Chain A
Amino acid sequence: MTIRSILFGAAAAVLLASSPALAAGGETPRPERMSWSFAGPFGMYDQGQLQRGFKVFKEVCAACHSANFLYFRNLAQPGGPGFTEAQAKQVASEYQITDGPNDAGDMFQRPGRLSDHWPAPFPNDNAARASNGGALPPDLSVIAKARSYHVGFPGFITDAFIQYQEHGVDYIHALLTGYVDPPADAHVQPGLHYNTYFPGHQIAMPKPISDGQVEYTDGAPQTVEQYSEDVSAFLMWLAEPHLDARKRIGFQVMIFLLVFAGLLYFTKKKVWKNVAH
């Protein structure tokens, strides 16, 4: 019993020592956990949502952000927004791509093809900075996996059981809907903008989208909330284009392994039947 009391004493001392640090920090509120169609063991992307999200991305985000790992062919690949090949070709052909050199040694412009990657809005990082008040708009290819927020104990343990992997999308959704008037005591530097969910609250990106800015043809509400959800889902697909296949195969693998483990368990029992152990 003495050891047990020493143990509790030590644990209490450690907890007490850590508590000031636990209390400090965490001014930024946690993003709300949305219910995404692609969450959980059977989650799949919602094609309609990805198509709407793509429209927002194309008309709004892509004006400043690159997405260098996105190819036009991806738009028609299985598990994506579900465009037909003809539609993807149509999207590609709306862009002029620099190709070459040709036989005369000159670079030339031609309409985009499926094998081209999404054209970047700026020729290089310096040009992007120069047009954006010195801030570099990050590439959006894997942004939904490159952003997260602190969960802490014990949430990060339970997240492994509930298969929560949507830190990035939840953060992006919160950020896009997090532009509010700064509180009276907040000092926002010139050229920066107040955002509830951005660490430090001062973000270089101005409020990117307003109600009614992007026209939806499927009757979905044309609100900032809806735009944010759709484009966040699209960015998740952009970061993890094979999620549908992963979850589908995962289920098949799990079923096989569970049955196999069951059979092995009974085989093991039978083998060991006459051995005391």
Chain B
Amino acid sequence: MEGHSTYQPKGKLAQWFESRLPIVGLIHSSAVAYPVPKNLNYMWTFGAILTFMLVVQIVSGVVLAMHYVAYAPVAFARVEHIMRDVSYGWLIRYIHANGASMFFIAVYIHIFRGMYYGSYKAPREVLWILGVIIYLLMMATGFMGYVLPWGQMSFWGATVITNLFSAIPVVGPVVVEWLWGGYSVGDPTLNRFFSLHYLLPFMIAGVVGLHIWALHHVGQNNPDGIDVKNVAKDTVPFTPYATIKDIFGMVVFIIFFSWFIFYIPNYLGHSDNYIPANPLSTPAHIVPEWYYLPFYAILRSIPDKLGGVVAMFAAIAILAFLPWLDTSKVRSAKYRPLFKQFFWIFAIVAVGLGYLGAMPAEGGYVIASRILTAYYFIHFLIILPVLGIVERPKPLPASIAEAVLAKGAKGGAAVVTGASAPETRG
């Protein structure tokens, strides 16, 4: 998407068209000729995987919407109608339901990859913030989608999450009633959630367009975190090099995805969501979808309701400030020995918060979530700013080409093909 393409159409008609709408040139410059750093590892295939997952979710979702009815008395039965009577409806629904989880697995790997290799640092701050916006939209979309089957967890999850807004001083209760379209979660809530669940993915697609535009403007970061100095020596053209690698990564990811669709389709769901929504019976434990659990743990760790809500949203919002909280000039953790260790501690803390989010909020679990919540914020607000000042980074290679050669030399004689082992490392 960068500048004027060097693409020259061969045919007369193609030339006529290109001089009026240079769309083929745009595709050529952004998906064929676009220079890609040579040293990218498989962590960089998740951008393509996420694009693929967005398409999967939209296509399967559009088909599901043809058979679904967003009316509270029949919504649960309509989903079962899809599962039982629609041809391959079970397949489409399991793709969509597990696809949401796969989308989040991929996005978490993508985010942690960005953190590890410092992909948020100048000049990629806007690219990173656009990513945080996509993540927020994904969370909203996923939450509303989970409400649509109108099972017990749908209903009570919606009740708990919408009630968070009642913590807003003065206007809170009014805002919540406005969200519900009534005095509790009910049919109006289901209807608007369905409408928004259909709308938000297209907003995500729009922001993804901006995200890719920004990416292609500033160029990709890479595992060594150094800028491209010489396009001829440091990069390869997107096609065929990145294309084939992305497709391979994608197919491996689809194998993982298929394991869930065909063999353990209900593993990531909650059994209570196969019980029709019942406003008169509260489940013993209300648990959100797994991908919200770390934030749910943060929410519950603060004894004050408003404080908990603020902490939960702050935990997401803080990501947008990451480019300025990390004071180090060096991007990649590869050359930051201290940061590398703190990165992994942070990753363990995030997973730990996820585990605690699934546990009942009582006794030791509460104490543990408080410790981990505190650490989550300390990582961003204290460790990262201080680390940039006190840490002594390792010397950076002069160029990507040099880094690649050094890696090849370390790997022994197999300079050309032996690079696959270190590549797979996170």
Q: In the complex, A260→B415 CA distance in Å? A: 27
- A242 in the interface (beta carbon within 8 A): yes
Q: In the complex, A209→B359 CA distance in Å? A: 36
- A268 in the interface (beta carbon within 8 A): yes
What is the total number of residues of chain B having a CB less than 8 Å from a CB of chain A? 60
Say how far A138's CB is from chain B's closest CB, in angstroms.
8
Query: Which segment, of B46-54, B195-203, B204-212, B236-244, faces chain A?
Result: B236-244
**Are B342's CB and A271's CB within 8 A?**
no
- B282 in the interface (beta carbon within 8 A): no
- State which residues 363-413 of B face A: CB under 8 Å: 363-365, 367-368, 371-372, 375, 404-405, 408
Complex interface: chain A residues within 8 A of B284 (CB): 199
Contact with B along A251-277 (1 / 0, CB 8 A): 101100110110011011101111111
User: Which of A21, A143, A253 touches B362 (beta carbons < 8 Å)?
Assistant: A21
- B177 in the interface (beta carbon within 8 A): no
Say how far A73's CB is from chain B's closest CB, in angstroms.
10
**Are B266's CB and A165's CB within 8 A?**
yes
- B17 in the interface (beta carbon within 8 A): no
Complex interface: chain A residues within 8 A of B415 (CB): 276
Q: Number of contacts between A and B (CB, 8 Å)?
A: 150
**Are B251's CB and A160's CB within 8 A?**
no
**Are B364's CB and A247's CB within 8 A?**
no
Q: If A21-B365, A273-B416, A275-B38 touch, does A69 touch B77 (CB 8 Å cutoff)?
A: yes
Interface of A is mostly: helix
Complex interface: chain A residues within 8 A of B254 (CB): 257
- B137 in the interface (beta carbon within 8 A): no
User: Which of B40, B338, B368 touches A3 (beta carbons < 8 Å)?
Assistant: B338
Q: If A146-B275, A271-B241 touch, does A3 touch B341 (CB 8 Å cutoff)?
A: yes
Say how far A117's CB is from chain B's closest CB, in angstroms.
11
Complex interface: chain B residues within 8 A of A3 (CB): 338, 341-342, 345
Q: In the complex, A70→B81 CA distance in Å? A: 11
- B258 in the interface (beta carbon within 8 A): yes
Complex interface: chain A residues within 8 A of B359 (CB): 18, 21
User: Which of A14, A22, A246 touches B371 (beta carbons < 8 Å)?
Assistant: A14
**Are A257's CB and B263's CB within 8 A?**
no
**Are B372's CB and A146's CB within 8 A?**
no
Contact with A along B15-52 (1 / 0, CB 8 A): 00000000000000000000000111000000000000
Q: In the complex, A169→B290 CA distance in Å? A: 23
Q: In the complex, A41→B91 CA distance in Å? A: 16
- A13 in the interface (beta carbon within 8 A): yes
Complex interface: chain B residues within 8 A of A265 (CB): 248
**Are B263's CB and A163's CB within 8 A?**
yes
**Are B365's CB and A18's CB within 8 A?**
yes
- A20 in the interface (beta carbon within 8 A): yes
Between-chain CB contacts (< 8 Å), 14 pairs: A3-B338, A18-B359, A21-B364, A25-B360, A148-B271, A163-B264, A245-B90, A254-B255, A260-B251, A261-B248, A264-B251, A272-B417, A276-B408, A277-B39
The 5 closest A-B pairs by CB, nearest first: A250-B262, A146-B274, A148-B271, A21-B363, A17-B367
Q: Which A residues lie at the B interface, using CB under 8 A?
A: 3-4, 7, 10-11, 13-14, 16-22, 24-25, 41, 68-69, 74, 138, 141-143, 145-148, 153, 159-160, 163-165, 167-168, 199, 239, 241-242, 245-247, 249-251, 253-254, 257-258, 260-261, 264-265, 267-269, 271-277
